[in-house]
Structure 1
Amino acid sequence: MTDVPARHVLVIGAQCRARGELLRLKQAAEDLHVVLTDPAIGGCQVRTGDHPSLLVGRELKPEHVVDAVREAARRAKEDSAVLVVALLGHGFTAPQQTDLYYMVHESTMDSTMSAVAVGPLLAEVADEAGVDGVIALIDTCHAAGATPDIARLAGGVRSGRARLAVLTASTAVEKARDMRLSTTLVKILREGLSRTGGAMYVDRTLTEALRGRISGQTIGRAEYDNDPFALEGLWLARNPRCASNAGHEVVGPLGRQQLQQAVEIWRAQQYLPERLTLPALEELHDFLRTGTANDETSLEWRGRATDVVVVLKECMQSADLLGQMMPGVLTSDLLRAAGRLAGFPAQAGGTVPLRDLLEHAALGAQHFDGAPWRGLARFLAAVVRQAGLADKDTSRLVEWAQQRQVLAEFNDALAEFKADQQRREVRLVVSLASAWTGWPEEVEAWLLRGGNAVPTQQRFPCDSADRIGAGKAISAALVWAHSQLPTPEVLENVDVAAPAHLLAQWQPEEAKIGRRYLLGTHHAVVARWSGRLDPAEDNAEINQAARRALSASASCGIASVEWVNLPVLSDRTRLEHALTTGRYGTAVGVDHHPDDLCDVLELLLPYAPIVLWPRADARPTNGQLEELIAQRWHQLPDGFAAAYRDRWNARANAALCLGDIRAVWHDEAWLEFCRPFENRYVAALKEET
């Protein structure tokens, strides 16, 4: 089966005031929409905006339904695509007639004008030239009455060359109950069918499967296919049980690893299938709960295997929930950013970020002494924070957390992320840019408070042009900054921008502040290169290159450090050529402490937004530095502050640690601060203060 360029869908769930509210309607419509828009199953496109692919409401009018169906048909016509239409809710037939009328908010059974005549509408869109076929799913009472008069298609504008398949929840004289067709169809589409090939159709096989699970109403179907030019059959969904459709596994590497371990210990020499499909996982879950095994070697590991399966199913349900809540917002970049916010390592994003990050949250980041779903709650809170959702848009996640008894953990994580963002927005930038050769005679400081607030700026003279004088000036800047902040705002983050010659010899966090403390004792200090604050002609270019490099690194989700060794540094001409041609991108690490560190930094800093190197008294060997950075990358640069404090108290000759690594770090927030300097209106920024 070949993939079509596009498939379109429209799922409508309408409540009717006269007939009473259908309690399961909203959930049934949403679940059906999710499975039909799943790329691995229904393959239909999600639409948002003025003409969404999911339309559920209490206030729908007949014209809303008709317009939505016609608009969906126009979209399908533009793409020469199949259109799947699902109508869920109440329906009625007029006395002595079998034509179905779909009921909306103000519909009554004594007025056909107050409802939607389904059969003629389906015939109209199926007869639209360019639409590759229509599949209609009708989950109402008297549903079989939705089947249009075949004569309308046979004698239509397409001269009969149309395709239409209708799946109905009941006969024209029967009632349908509890959205049974929709809910059962969702389960079957997710599980797949064993007696068919790579696709499922509205045919006898699907109808019999539905009839075998639904009682009290007669599931029916009607098919019309008179298009000899169709490239493939009018399929409803891909069949998950077919191996050819299993390229997108429902279980990621971490989930497979932990499940494989549990199964092998539970039953010796037992291995998982090559591909873990949802039906395979369901079958394993059922057997673990009810089955017996002669080769059961460890009863306690049956429980462990069961727990892992339950976690994996929960991850799939969470993925569905996020997909329903934010179909137009969820992206790989957003998910990886949420993973970083939650404190996950970069590799947790894997190849399928949503699946792999959820599994890491539930299996890799879960504390054994905490609530069972604590890690998952933290990641979902990070997604909410990263997406910028308002409280009113998180009700379904709050409900999820309540049901799993992790509401406090979910709310705690939201509060933590919000407070952390507020702390990050309050920053003091101290610049020693005026030190061209030695130490500066004054330092310049800006207080940033986030949002649209204009940074306040002040200059502080140095009592002496040396390390002590610079420390006193920074101390004065801190006192000034604290005086500008209203309660309860606190200042924790300090950026120190200095020329390369100072960065090569000075650790800003060790600057003496007052008589008692070092700058880094109570502040998170990040070293920056003051060259990006110089209103030079090429700063806009180098900063834009840095933004592109950081964006590319965030998208790939892994540490991207290019390491240079002594032989590379020995050939400066060749290294500079590599830098100018883009050979080195996001981060450059020097694997040793060069004697001419100042010259090395002068060479690297205009090109790489992040530069790393070991302290002079650190002696990394055998790739220790590279391994340490790879392990701790997801904690940087924030992790440096605590690492430097730990190093102050470490014993001499201790093993290489993060505190032994120096860094000049230019992230997106710093590059945004630098933007006014690119445009040469530094003076204007000062005047606004």
Structure 2
Amino acid sequence: MTDGLARHVLVIGAQCRAMGSLTRLEQAARELHGVLTDPALGGCRARAGEYPSLLSNKEFKPADVRKAVEAAVQQAKADSAVLVVALLGHGFTPPQQTELYFMVSDSTTESVSSAVNVRQLLTEAADEAGVDGVIALVDTCHASGAAPDAGQIAGGIRAGRTRLSVLTAAAADEPARDMRLTFALVEVLAEGLAGAGSEVFVDRTLTRELRERVSGQAVGRMEYDNDPFALESLWLARNSRYRGERAADEVVGPLGRRELQQAVEMWRVQRHLPERLTRTALTELHEFVCNGQAEDETSADWRIRVGDVAGALVECAQTGELLSSVFATALTSDLLRAAGRLAGFPPEAEGSVLLRDLLEYAALCAQPVDGARWQGLARFVAAVEYQIDFEVKDPQTREWARQHGVITEYNDALAEFSQSRRRQEVRLVVSLASAWTDWPEEVDAWLLYGQSALPARERFICESADRIGVGRAIKAALDWARSRLPVPELLMHVDVAAPAHLLAQWQPEEEKVGRYLLGAHHVVVARWSGRLDPSEDNAEINDAARKTFDAMASCRRVSVEWVDPAVLGDQAGLEQALMAGQYAAAVGLDHHPQDLHEILGLFLPYTPIILWPRADARPANGEVQTVVQQNWHQLPNAFADAYRDRWKGTHAGCSVCLGDIRAVWHDEAWLNFCRPFENRIVVAPEEEL
């Protein structure tokens, strides 16, 4: 790879009136353009002017697309550069043909002249003398119809001496939905691609990864290479994971290197860190900062910061060795991720080398400003030990905490984790399962406390079959639950299970129970009562949900599949996709449908988590997704504080915040509670004769 060679890009996101608006199109085009023009990833040059490198959210005619591509081709020709072209939107293939036509504002499927022939467009771009190769990304329906055949290219002006790679979102007879290919590609390029080397190509490795992330569509590719004099390989992006794989055994991770590099550059003029940071190099830097003198010192204040960061990184390496030694038989990737979440770290703290990167986050990002020097590390060490759940805490970690002056913080963290677990084990479940059409006449309640296999159960009659009657019955259930709890146990968690028609219209945490709203002093989680109905094939759907949570636990990215009105409008196709297991993870609605109760009834048996905005929320494109992504690692419990803030008007000026989002959440704790309702039959094996 030669860093000095120019690369150009053109991303076009086009809406079509006849086909309906694509709600995530502009976001997809913007994020793809961002990753392709990132100097560390796509390395393409952003352009302004009449035909900029990003064109979206405007009225396009076929001529506009062709002129924009021609301008990009001429720029690539002038620089002998690779050109990356992305076409996002709607597409169609005429009857009895496989050629893809890219649709613009006034395009219709009855007129090929109203759209753009993508196969011809790409063939002409690759055939332009001076262009060092073309990479095309096509995220439309019937996208594989965009790939030119070798005969067309060989018959051109360059007699085939050119290069072209085409990545397509769907087969020629298949729809593409919700810009799935684009968002998956952005994720892959941002995260890096395992086993791909220093660059990512449109090849088998990339398509295999995309096919794992994009369900319900046949992601495909076409590669043509007949230019023996190309200036460099036809790479799509630099592989951000390559350096991490190559340097997995380095003492310092990406976060530590970034923090240390910034501090060193602010401290001394034009000083950079070595490519490889060993323990010896860190120790020498730390000693020099503490004892040496630098003639080219820019700011003495930054000397302290360099010493702090270098010392923290040395301590992270030593603490990592201690944990690896003490818990050698217990440390796993899942345990470390769980410890990070218990300590309150976001998913971004989980790097390619889990223990190293989580320790760096603890020391550099989770350190309170006014706390003890190693308080962040002490909290993570306690979280690791608590996850392992030793009956007797290991004396070596306790001695580590004592030597570092954080024994109190270490013990506080262990006590906090223990109290949090104990309080989460105390739960009141209130079921409105008998409400078949409207409000129920009675509610069932279970109190989960301690390790009891059989929770206490009681039934409460509603004074009236309406919301007021249900609220009073819940109040009675709360009083009953408190009367059974020993002092000083507190009831903080309440699960409310209801049918889809009530979940669509009712916010149980806003129900007045006594002097307060239910959610004022309780963490209320909405559940679907269908999982308590033995006739719902619950063993099957709950086992599917358990598999989903197992897969989500080891995934760093937010596992929400967002659904727009176009998907909901095709109910037959949606039902088929659900039966095929397509929406196996969490599902998010990017809008509030009019027929929400029917949508919930359709999704709830298949997906363990579903989210949607309130009816009075007015989110702009992508805002709901952004809010969920930012708060994902704290859900569902974070909804409780968000709803309380909403009542107080704390976020009155926000267009959308977490308090504007509703959710039905079936986590592993709920699935365990549902097991007695699964109607499983256990048969002893027959004795062999």
The alignment's TM-score, normalised by the length of structure 2, stands at 0.62
> 1:387 offset after TM fit, Å?
0.9
Deviation at 1:244, TM superposition (A): 11
2:538 alignment counterpart: 539
Give the match for residue 413 of structure 1: 413
Q: Secondary structure at the match of 2:458?
A: strand
Please say if residues 587 and 609 of structure 2, whose CA atoms lie closer than 8 Å, have aligned partners that are also in contact.
yes
CA distance in structure 2 between the partners assigned to 1:438 and 1:490 by the alignment = 32
Q: Could you tell me which residue of structure 2 aligns to residue 678 of structure 1?
A: 678
Distance of aligned partners of 1:304 and 1:399 in 2 relative to their CA distance in 1, 3 Å threshold:
same
Local SS of the residue matching 2:271 = coil
**1:160-215 alpha-carbon deviations (Å, 9 max, x no partner):** xxxxxxxxxxxxxxxxxxxxxxxxxxxxxxxxxxxxxxxxxxxxxxxxxxxxxxxx
Tell me the alpha carbon deviations over residues 308-351 of structure 1, each in whole angstroms, 9 at most, x when there is no partner: 01101111111111111111110110111111111111221122
Q: 1:296 aligns to what?
A: 297
Q: Give the partner amino acid of 2:305.
A: R
CA shift for structure 1 position 488: 1.3
Counterpart of 1:630 in structure 2 is: 629
Give matches, 1:436-585, under 5 Å.
436-514=436-514, 516-536=515-535, 538-585=537-584
CA contact (8 A) 1:425 1:450 kept: yes
| Structure 2 CA distance for partners of 1:459 and 1:244, relative to 1, 3 Å | closer
AA matched with 1:469: G
8 Å CA contact 1:335, 1:354 repeated in 2: yes
| 1:317 pairs with 2:318 | yes
Cα distance, 1:244–1:527 mapped onto 2, change above 3 Å: closer
Residue matched to 1:647: 646
Q: Which residue in 2 is equivalent to 1:435?
A: 435
The answer on whether the counterparts of 1:510 and 1:518 sit within 8 Å (CA) in structure 2 is yes
Displacement of 1:538: 2.1
**Cα offset for 1:247?**
4.3
* Distance across 1 between alignment mates of 2:319 and 2:438: 57
| Secondary structure of residue in 2 paired with 1:400 | helix
1:336 touches 1:557 (CA, 8 Å); kept in 2?
no
Q: Quote the Cα distance in structure 1 between the aligned partners of 2:576 and 2:395.
A: 55
Q: Which amino acid aligns with 2:359?
A: L
Task: Give the counterpart letter for 1:527 in structure 2.
Answer: A
Q: Deviations over 1:126-152 (max 9, x none)?
A: xxxxxxxxxxxxxxxxxxxxxxxxxxx
- Residue of structure 1 equivalent to 2:161: none
Equivalent-residue separation in structure 2 for 1:279 and 1:652 (angstroms): 49
CA deviations on 1:554-586 (whole Å, 9 max, x unpaired) are 112332111111222122222222222222222
> Does the CA contact (< 8 Å) of 1:246 and 1:277 recur in 2?
no
Cα distance in 2 between the residues matched to 1:577 and 1:338: 38
1:665 maps to 665
User: Amino acid of the residue matched to residue 382 of structure 2?
Assistant: A
Distance, in Å, in 2 between the alignment partners of 1:399 and 1:413 is 15
Shift of 1:245: 7.5
Report the Cα distance in structure 1 between the residues aligned to 2:473 and 2:532, rounded to whole angstroms: 19
The one-letter amino acid of 2:579's match is T
Q: Tell whether 2:608 aligns with 1:593.
A: no
Shift of the 433–399 alpha-carbon distance from structure 1 to 2, 3 Å rule, reads same
- The one-letter code matched in structure 2 to 1:337 is A
Secondary structure (helix, strand or coil) at the match of 2:561 reads strand
Checking the alignment, whether the CA contact within 8 Å between 2:248 and 2:353 is kept in structure 1 is: no
Given the superposition, is the C-alpha separation of residues 319 and 558 from structure 1 closer, same or farther in structure 2, using an over 3 Å criterion? same
Post-superposition shift, 1:395? Answer: 1.0
- Contact 2:471-2:512 within 8 A present in 1 as well: yes
Return the offset for 1:588.
0.8
Cα offset, 1:548, TM superposition? 1.1
Q: Tell whether 2:337 aligns with 1:340.
A: no
Question: Which residue of the partner structure matches residue 362 of structure 1?
Answer: 363
**Unaligned stretches of 5+ in structure 1?**
1-242, 682-689
**Conserved? CA contact 2:446–2:457, under 8 Å:** yes
Normalization by structure 1: what TM-score?
A: 0.62
Structure 1 residues 317 and 439, CA gap change in structure 2 (3 angstroms): same
Larger Cα-atom Rg: 1
Q: 1:504 to 1:368 in 2, by over 3 A?
A: same
Structure 1 residue 680: deviation in Å? 5.4
Which amino acid is 1:612 matched to?
L
| Cα distance, 1:277 vs structure 2 | 2.8
Per the TM alignment, residue 282 of structure 1 is displaced from its structure 2 partner at its CA by 3.0
Number of the residue aligned with 1:53: none
Does the C-alpha gap of structure 1 residues 247 and 347 become closer, same or farther in structure 2, counting only changes over 3 Å? Answer: closer
The alignment's C-alpha RMSD in Å is 1.8
Amino acid at match of 1:646: D
**For residues 183-332 of structure 1, what are the structure 2 equivalents within 5 Å?**
246-332=247-333
1:252: Cα distance to partner? 1.5
Deviations 1:13-59 (A, max 9, x none): xxxxxxxxxxxxxxxxxxxxxxxxxxxxxxxxxxxxxxxxxxxxxxx
**SS, match of residue 535 in structure 2:** coil
SS in 1 for 2:261: helix
Which residue number in structure 2 is paired with residue 224 of structure 1? none
Which residue identity is paired with 2:618? R
Secondary structure of the 2:554 match is: helix
TM-aligned CA distance change 1:535 to 1:407, over 3 Å: same
Q: What's the secondary structure of 1:599's corresponding residue? A: helix
- Alpha-carbon distance in structure 2 between the residues aligned to 1:606 and 1:464: 29
User: Match for 2:385: what amino acid?
Assistant: V
Contact 2:445 2:458 in 1 (8 A): yes
Match of 1:30? Answer: none
Paired residue type of 2:678: E
- State the Cα distance separating 1:537 from its structure 2 match: 5.6
Equivalent pairs: percent with the same residue? 64
1:382 matched to 2:404: no
- Quote the offset at 1:290 in angstroms: 3.7
Q: Distance in 1 between matches of 2:679 and 2:395?
A: 44
The alpha carbon displacement at 1:453 in A equals: 4.3
Q: CA deviation at 1:284?
A: 2.5
Quote how far apart the aligned CAs of 1:403 are. 0.9
- 1:260-317, Cα deviation, whole Å (9 max, x unpaired): 1101101122222233233332332343334433322112212211110110111111
The Cα offsets for residues 607-632 of structure 1, whole Å up to 9 and x where unpaired, read as 11111111111111131111111111
Letter of the structure 1 residue corresponding to residue 342 of structure 2: L
- Report if aligned partners of 1:535, 1:680 keep a CA contact under 8 Å in 2: no
1:22 matched residue in structure 2:
none
Q: Provide the residue aligned with 2:156 in structure 1.
A: none
Q: CA deviation at 1:652?
A: 8.5
Query: Any idea what the Cα deviations from partners look like across 1:379-421, whole Å, max 9, x if unmatched?
Result: 1111111110223x42111111111111111111111110111
> Which letter maps to 2:312?
V
Superposition deviation, residue 594 in structure 1: 0.7
SS, match of residue 496 in structure 2: strand
CA–CA distance in structure 2, aligned partners of residues 599 and 618 of structure 1: 20
**Structure 2: distance between partners of 1:534 and 1:361:** 44
Cα distance, 1:594–1:449 mapped onto 2, change above 3 Å: same
The alpha carbon displacement at 1:474 in A equals 0.7
Secondary structure of 2:562's counterpart equals strand
Contact 2:651/2:657 (<8 A) preserved: no
Q: Which runs of 5 or more structure 2 residues have no equivalent in the other structure?
A: 1-243, 682-689
2:581 & 2:338 partners in 1: Cα distance? 25
Structure 2: distance between partners of 1:608 and 1:342: 28
Shift of 1:653: 4.9
Q: Cα distance 1:452–1:260, how it changes in 2: closer, same or farther (>3 A)?
A: same
Partner secondary structure for residue 445 of structure 2: strand
Residue aligning to 2:602:
603
Deviation of 1:512 (Å): 1.7
One-letter amino acid of the structure 2 residue matched with residue 536 of structure 1: S
Q: Which residue of 2 aligns with 1:160?
A: none
Conservation of the 8 A alpha-carbon contact between 1:542 and 1:607: yes
Bigger shift: residues 483-492 or 653-662: 653-662
Q: 2: CA distance between counterparts of 1:638 and 1:558?
A: 19
For residue 358 of structure 1, give the secondary structure of its aligned residue in structure 2. Answer: helix
What are the superposed Cα offsets for residues 479-530 of structure 1, whole Å, 9 maximum, x if unpaired? Answer: 111111111111111000000000000001011213x211111111000011
CA distance in 1, matches of 2:250, 2:561: 33
The one-letter code matched in structure 1 to 2:263 is: A
